[in-house]
Structure 1
Amino acid sequence: MFGALDISTSALVAQRQRLTAISANVALGSTVVDPNADPDDFRRRVAIFAPGDPVSGSREGVHLKEILYDQAPFRKIHDEGHPFADEDGYVQVPNIDPSIEMINAVEASRAYEANITAAEATKSMLQTSLRLLA
C-alpha cells in the first residue's frame, strides 16, 4: 500500500516540475529575443515524462525525463524603435502561445489534484487498516 503513496508522490513531483516549465513559458511570453543570447533561453519549454523511478529502479510511478526546447520558429512582430529590431523593423518574440500555456497549466493542476485525491484515499485505507489491526 505504501507503493501507492510512492506512485502518487512521484506524479505530484512530476506535475509540479511540469507547472514550473509552464510558468517559465508564461513569464517568457512577453519578452523579446536578444540576438546576442542563446536562442534556447527564449524557447518554449516542454516537460517530458517517463514511467518509473530511475533512482530506485521501480517500474511504477512517473518522473520527469527531460525538458525539451520547442524548436518552432520565433514569431516576428513589427517594432521599429526596439534596439533588437532588424533592418526591416521586426523583433523576434518567443514561440510561446499564452492560451496554450494556460490550458497546459489547468491540465497540470487537475492532474496534481487527482494525484492528491489518490494519495488521500490510500492514506485513509492505511488508517482504516491500522485501526482494525490495533
Structure 2
Amino acid sequence: MSFLSSMNISASAMTAQRLRLDIASENIANIDTTRTEAGGPYRRKMVVLEARSENNFRRTLMNAAGLGRQQSTGGIRVSQIVEDASPFKSVYSPEHPDADENGYVQMPNVDLIKETVDSMSATRSYEANITAFNAIKFMASKALEIGK
C-alpha cells in the first residue's frame, strides 16, 4: 500500500467524521424545533457509513493472474443520511402554539446525551485519523531523507 493511498484512507475518514459532527450539531440546534417546513417536529438525523472498496471480482482475477497489480482503495464514505424513526416526545404545555387539543406538544426525538456522545465519538475518531495521517507524513519524510 502506498503512502498516498494511506493518506487517502485517513482523509476519507476525517471527512466522514466531520459530517457526523455537523449532523450532531444540527440535531442539537433543532432540539426544540416543533414546526418544520415538512410539518411536525424536527426528526433526528443519523449518518450511515460504509466501507469504500473498489475490490471487485475483475480486479481480484487480474491480480491472481498476474496481469496487473492494482491496489484497491480503502477508507469509508457516507452512504446516506437517514432520519430516526423513533417516536416524538409528548410534553404537556397547553400554552404552546403547537399544542394539540389535550395540551400536549410533540417535541423532536433528539436526545442531548446521545448527540453529545456522537459528537465526542466523531471528535475522537477525527483526532485518531489526524494522528495516523501525521505518522504517514513523518514516515514519508524520513524515507525521503534516506536518499540524501
1:20 matched to 2:22? The reply is yes
Q: Which residue of 2 aligns with 1:131?
A: 145
Structure whose CA Rg is larger: 2
CA distance in 1, matches of 2:120, 2:109: 20
Q: TM-score, normalised by structure 1?
A: 0.90
Is 1:50–1:64's contact at 8 Å kept on the other side of the alignment? yes
The one of 9, 24, 49 equivalent to 1:7 is 9
The one of 69, 76, 94 equivalent to 1:62 is 76
Query: Would the alpha carbon gap of residues 91 and 26 (structure 1) be closer, same or farther in structure 2, given more than 3 Å must change?
Result: same
Query: Would the alpha carbon gap of residues 61 and 103 (structure 1) be closer, same or farther in structure 2, given more than 3 Å must change?
Result: same
The one of 95, 116, 122 equivalent to 1:102 is 116
Structure 1 stretch 79-88 or stretch 58-67: which is displaced more? 58-67
Is 2:41–2:106's contact at 8 Å kept on the other side of the alignment? no
Q: TM-score, normalised by structure 2?
A: 0.81
Q: Which residue of 1 aligns with 2:52?
A: 52
Query: Would the alpha carbon gap of residues 68 and 87 (structure 1) be closer, same or farther in structure 2, given more than 3 Å must change?
Result: same
CA distance in 1, matches of 2:86, 2:147: 58
CA distance in 2, matches of 1:40, 1:49: 28
Task: Report the secondary structure of 1:130's partner residue.
Answer: helix
Unaligned runs of 5+ in 2: 55-71
Q: Which residue of 2 aligns with 1:73?
A: 87
Query: Would the alpha carbon gap of residues 22 and 39 (structure 1) be closer, same or farther in structure 2, given more than 3 Å must change?
Result: farther
CA distance in 2, matches of 1:73, 1:42: 11
* Aligned ranges 1:25-40 → 2 under 5 Å: 25-32=27-34, 34=35, 37-38=37-38
Query: Would the alpha carbon gap of residues 126 and 8 (structure 1) be closer, same or farther in structure 2, given more than 3 Å must change?
Result: same
Unaligned runs of 5+ in 1: none
CA distance in 2, matches of 1:2, 1:40: 47
Query: Would the alpha carbon gap of residues 41 and 129 (structure 1) be closer, same or farther in structure 2, given more than 3 Å must change?
Result: farther
Q: How many residues align?
A: 129
